[in-house]
Chain A
């Protein structure tokens, strides 16, 4: 897929563990401000790819470029969030949001003010001084998103961030994330096994298959924005879903516009 203004480039990344190939020549380019979902079955190497992009894991082969700079194997360049909220139980909501600053240079008054502003803006204003255990799953994930945003990284990696939530809360969170993305010009790589979620949120959906992990299709989701509940039942949405499901489950490729 042709990207005019590349922000994040995953260039021919392969990973081997004890001779077993987990990732096989993954290439994916994200344009500035683009939202790309990776959808695939469990065990297809999504999380391995994630660890490579975040810099936690050095790939056997290939590079990761951020703004044209080689950041392969370097951490500290991207925001990162998992299905587990990983909130620190001894820190309040605001304390958790400024964790990145605490870990880098120590949270200043300014960091806390910005965190309070961010939290207030996205529906956490009343809970600044609550401990995580007093919050529901959805609220905790919001705090985790805020913690990721507070780092001011312009590339966010989200690994099934809403995977542990119930269906209603998940939909709420997806719409909330769309609103947050519209405000802040961030580039997002979003990993999920939920086809609906992948299509609903993204500009492009990359379909991944496992053993070894490969990207088999890159589908441009040309659904209009802003998206809402209506999007989920639109004919366009259903078309993309049929296409993605067919790719995931090895069915016939009937829809056009797919690029292998």
Chain B
């Protein structure tokens, strides 16, 4: 890692800490300014310590909620992606399904939760459906957009090159969906936690952070309410960061000027010296520093 990259990372961490400090600072200032009692609005410190103090109880609940969030997220993302690909490949399907997609998001998710429980019982399934319901939409819209914006000249070029349809899809259409896919996934990752909590509120046989939040709320345990809310927020933020990290590995061309060593085929590497050696023809103008940026490895 170069010094520049390192300082970029240090800056990112610094700004993140400052942002969190700012939120807690405003929170503390509001309590102090309006003279709020701890049973109305607890301090961030006491909310956090409530979570730490009850961690042995909260840990399995956190795990349950994280599991619902992650599984629902993957199901929703997969459905969204496949749907987008199918819709872009078959125009009539797209025209048929698109209005249904928009309707699906216009339906209040809380309202659909109860019928889902009647249909699928109190198990994991209705929760996963709710999370997936929320996640699939930004994925399908973004990926569809990405597929629709592929340059027609590029498709023509591929045809002129004698491409097979499946290969054209794999090498031109599929990689073009990556950037929009990750845009959709980042939105979905933060919403997924909300979906899991709503799922737990309506379909709660297993205990999760959402159900715990409800019971803490009904017993006026505001410190726990705020503590668990902070915990849920942290899960959402971490999911977002995780998606970002995967994105930067999956789309190296967006942040680097050269391919990572690991993804380079070996043979040309070995041939490089040989190949440049034969460039001794005087008539061929050399590549006089025409590259706009230098190496970054």
Contact = CB atoms under 8 A, between A and B. Distances in A.
A146 interface: no
Interface residues of B, number: 46
Interface in A8-42: none
Interface stretch (B98-106, B148-156, B205-213): B148-156
B167 A130 contact: no
A113 B268 contact: yes
A220 B115 CA distance: 80
Nearest to A173: B285
A122 B284 contact: yes
B284 A121 contact: yes
B258 A134 contact: yes
Interface string B268-293: 10011011111101011111001111
Contact of A121 (B153, B265, B278, B293): B278
Contact of B253 (A89, A136, A172, A226): A89
A179 B286 CA distance: 12
A179 B283 contact: yes
A123 B287 contact: yes
A167 interface: no
Contacts of B162: 75-77, 100, 103-104
Contacts of B284: 121-123, 176, 179-180
Nearest to A127: B291
A58 interface: no
Contacts of A116: 267-268, 271-272, 275
B161 A92 contact: no
B285 A123 contact: yes
A136 B283 contact: no
27 contacts: A55-B160, A75-B160, A80-B160, A82-B153, A94-B268, A99-B161, A103-B168, A109-B267, A112-B268, A113-B268, A117-B278, A119-B275, A120-B274, A121-B275, A121-B278, A121-B279, A121-B281, A122-B279, A123-B279, A123-B286, A125-B272, A127-B287, A130-B291, A134-B291, A139-B291, A179-B284, A182-B283
Interface of B: 151, 153-154, 156-164, 167-168, 171-172, 175, 178, 251, 253, 256-259, 264-265, 267-268, 271-272, 274-279, 281, 283-287, 290-293
